[in-house]
Structure 1
Amino acid sequence: MSQESFVIDLQALAKDGGRVHRTVPVESLGRLVESLLEPVGTVTFEFQGERDDEGKLYVDLQIQGDLVLQCQRCLEAMVWPCNVQNRLLLLRSGEELPENELENDAVDALEVEPLTDLLALVEDEVLLALPLVPRHENCEPPVKAGVDDEISPFAVLRQLRGKV
């Protein structure tokens, strides 16, 4: 499937109540790959459009996939289950967010152009959802192999000072 097939008119999708459901390889999300330990597996996403009674256009976004991150405690691979759900209020370019939506935490506003790259939007949402410091619930930090009692650098200095 080509990248071009993921560029659509989100406002038209919302007006029609349309739905887009796709699965893409993780490696096709270039910016996300840079944050992963291993670019393996797939990411599944779904956009469901909706127009409310007031004529506002919304898209409900769901993203799922297992991503391989590096645990920052033990430095081993860690599978992180990505599950993003977001409701987006679609705004035309230059349109301001309605006052009654400013305090609504359940909805994020998204200014859209006539054509929107769905992969870039999916990638943005996943990057925002990544844990700042990924780590297993239970793991130990790595230990240095073959070093039982590390000699303090100050102890070495003390020995040198005694010889003078």
Structure 2
Amino acid sequence: MKEHLFFPERLDVAAFARDAGQLSGELPAGGLTRLADAAAAEAPATAWPTVKWSVTGERREPRGAQAQVWLHLEASAETQMTCQRCLRPVKEHVEFDRWFHFVHDEAAAAAIDAETEEDVLVLSRSFDLFELIEDELLLSLPLVPRHEQCPEPLTLPLDQPLTEAEQGAERPHPFAALAALKKQGPAQ
């Protein structure tokens, strides 16, 4: 039997599952442009470690039903995003480990998706696995990246002590102008 060569950029998912194919590798993080957009300005994705991934195809044949095509996909990455507290780069480890069920058309995908919690996708003879990896890594990113404890104490402009001139000067009341208008009475 002839062994197939499979390429992650244009994967024939049905053939890959039928052959119980396995692929793994590493991707430069900077090459995943949407993931790179999440990078902290001081830590671009081109400086991140590579993204590690692996995929396995499986054909399941349940009794009394059509054969099913499945992919098991895992990936992990070390990212650096902007901490929402101190606005400095924070390292975030993101990973996922998911099974994807492939069906023949959008209608079947919508029907199965409505009934179950499975991740359902449509079969393709030239499926871009790297795009799916990037999608799943993006979904794995924290909504609010932040350090457990920021490396430097947070300083706010309000924390600065007032100068002697500022302490002695009386601040105007914010509603003083309204009070003056009220005393004048209604406009004629």
For 1:112 and 1:131, the matched residues in 2 are separated by 30
TM-score (norm 1): 0.79
The Cα shift of 1:99 comes to 6.3
Higher radius of gyration, 1 or 2 = 2
Q: Does 1:42 align with 2:50?
A: yes
The Cα shift of 1:18 comes to 0.2
2:17–2:70 CA contact under 8 A, matched in 1: yes
The Cα shift of 1:113 comes to 2.2
For 2:143 and 2:8, the matched residues in 1 are separated by 32
TM-score (norm 2): 0.70
- CA RMSD, Structure 1 to Structure 2 (Å): 2.8
The Cα shift of 1:126 comes to 0.7
Within 5 Å, give how 1:1-164 maps onto structure 2: 6-37=9-40, 38-39=44-45, 40-54=48-62, 55-97=67-109, 102-105=114-117, 107-139=118-150, 142-144=154-156, 148-149=160-161, 156-158=171-173
The Cα shift of 1:27 comes to 0.4
Aligned-residue sequence identity (percent) comes to 27
1:121-147 deviations in whole A, cap 9, x for unaligned?
111111111111111222366314796
1:56-98 deviations in whole A, cap 9, x for unaligned?
1100010012111111112121111111111100112335149
The Cα shift of 1:157 comes to 3.1
The Cα shift of 1:47 comes to 1.1
- AA in 1 matched with 2:131: A
> Which has the larger helix fraction?
2
The Cα shift of 1:111 comes to 1.5
For 1:46 and 1:79, the matched residues in 2 are separated by 23
Cα pair distance change 1:146/1:73, threshold 3 Å? closer
1:99-119 deviations in whole A, cap 9, x for unaligned?
6775543x3111132211111
Q: Unaligned 5+ residue runs, structure 2?
A: 1-6, 177-188
SS at match of 2:172: helix
> Which has the larger strand fraction?
1
SS at match of 1:58: strand
The Cα shift of 1:22 comes to 1.4
For 1:17 and 1:88, the matched residues in 2 are separated by 14
Greater shift in the superposed pair: 31-40 or 141-150: 141-150
